[in-house]
Amino acid sequence: MGNDMLSLLLLRLFLVLSALVALAAAQSGTDCNPIKTSGCPLDIGLTNNPYSVDSTKGTMDQASWTSSGAGSVIYTSQGAVLTLSKKGDAPTISTNWYIFFGRVEVLMRAAPRTGIVSSVVLGSDDGDEIDWELIGGNNDEVQTNYFGKGNVTLYNRGGNSAVHDVQGTRHNYTIDWQIGQLTWYVDGKAVRTLKEEDAVGGLNYPQTPMKLRIGSWAGGDPDNAPGTIAWAGGVTDYTKGPFTMYVERMSVTNQYPAASYSYGDMSGNWDSIVLKKDGAADGDQSKEGIVKKNGSSGIASATNSSSLLASSSSSSSQSSPTLYLSSATMGRGDGYVGRLFKVGGGLVLLPFILHFVI
């Protein structure tokens, strides 16, 4: 009897592992992982900040977004219409730029039917990830999740929140991603908060530059691992399709904007990320920029404001640090190359030349 019970527990553990590993693989991925390989390409940053786009105008900002995955992506008065019709389809739109902390809002309706998963994902090159997941077989719930450096050895990261009619009613799904704290909002109401220290003491806390990806996929495809199918609510019946999600508007605030980001080492920690301003070359420096909790001016700044999506409920007006850079520069051009450091109660953007004397 004891052996039977052990076998059952091992089987359940295997199913959970299969689901989570497959889920991570489906959502994140990069051709060059900068904490495992040197010489990875720079991450282009969002500098048009804050950024917003209204897909219901029937067009997409081609300079900012790329469509990928099989399936259909068209733009109509209902927004970006992502349709999964057959096995192998996974229509996705993703940004061509990255953000380094900040706020993301998506106004959307999820795709229906068993086994179909609608996702809003922030993902980095080294496996950091922040998720919204909406399961097609459950019209009144949304799931949240996160990963740090692709670590899937712990299985207590997921969360579930009740949200009425996610398929028929548009809702504002917001991610407020800050150094030290991550909060998920639905229609302006916080449904989950993660403290950095609660993610394995910060080791699993998402903290590297991320792209935004929005799309749908068949978690219930018969060829998927049994655990993935169970998590997605059951086997997908493609004869019940097509399965369509609608994305009406998106807004993004990049907390620490820069022309590009790179990894200063292989730690994957936020204070290893190198911020490079447009026009800067290696060796360019600016005077230090100080992140203050109060202030009213600066060259580069981003704050947690109310919702940028006018037709949705406003989000929390929780205060957050603002980045200020001095206008004075040193070296060639008007660019800077530096990293963020914690100093007292705030953050400081220090030029490379100062790294060697700290």
* DSSP per residue, 120-171: EEEEETTS-EEEEEEETT-TTEEEEEEESTT--S-----EEEE-S-TTTS-E
The answer on 329 and 200 residing in a single domain is: no
Task: Kindly state whether residues 125 and 176 are assigned to the same domain.
Answer: yes
Answer yes or no: do 197 and 174 share one domain: yes
Q: Which domain-ending residue is among 254, 285, 313?
A: 254
CATH code for position 179: 2.60.120.200
Statement to judge: residues 186 and 105 lie in one domain: yes
Structure tokens at 196: 């950095």
- Please indicate, yes or no, whether the overall pTM of this predicted structure exceeds 0.95: no
Same domain, 221 and 298: no
Q: Examine the domain organization and report whether 26 and 132 are in the same domain.
A: yes
- Whether residues 118 and 241 share a domain: the answer is yes
Strands 329-330 vs 337-343: parallel, antiparallel or unpaired: unpaired
User: Which residue, 235, 254, 273, sits at the end of a domain?
Assistant: 254
Rounded CA-CA distance 22/347 in Å is 37
Among residues 254, 285, 307, the one where a domain terminates is 254
Taking only the tens of pLDDT, the chain with its 358 residues reads: 455 544 444 444 433 344 444 443 434 456 899 999 999 999 999 999 999 999 999 888 889 999 999 999 999 999 999 999 999 999 999 999 999 999 999 999 999 999 999 999 999 999 999 999 999 999 999 999 999 998 877 667 899 999 999 999 999 999 999 999 999 999 999 999 999 999 999 999 999 999 999 999 999 999 999 999 999 999 999 999 999 999 999 999 999 999 999 999 999 999 999 999 875 544 333 323 323 333 322 223 333 345 656 444 333 333 333 333 332 232 333 455 677 766 656 666 665 533 322 2
The whole domain housing 279 covers 262-355
Cβ–Cβ < 8 Å for 304, 319:
yes
107: CB partners within 8 A, 6+ apart: 170, 171, 172, 173, 247, 248, 249, 250, 309, 311, 312
Residues acting as catalytic residues:
129, 133
User: Residues 169, 92: one domain?
Assistant: yes
Same domain for 234 and 332, yes or no, is no
Domain count, the chain: 2
- Same domain, residue pair 168 and 289: no
The answer to whether residues 196 and 283 belong to one domain is no
Residues 28 and 95 in one domain: yes
SS3 state at 62: coil
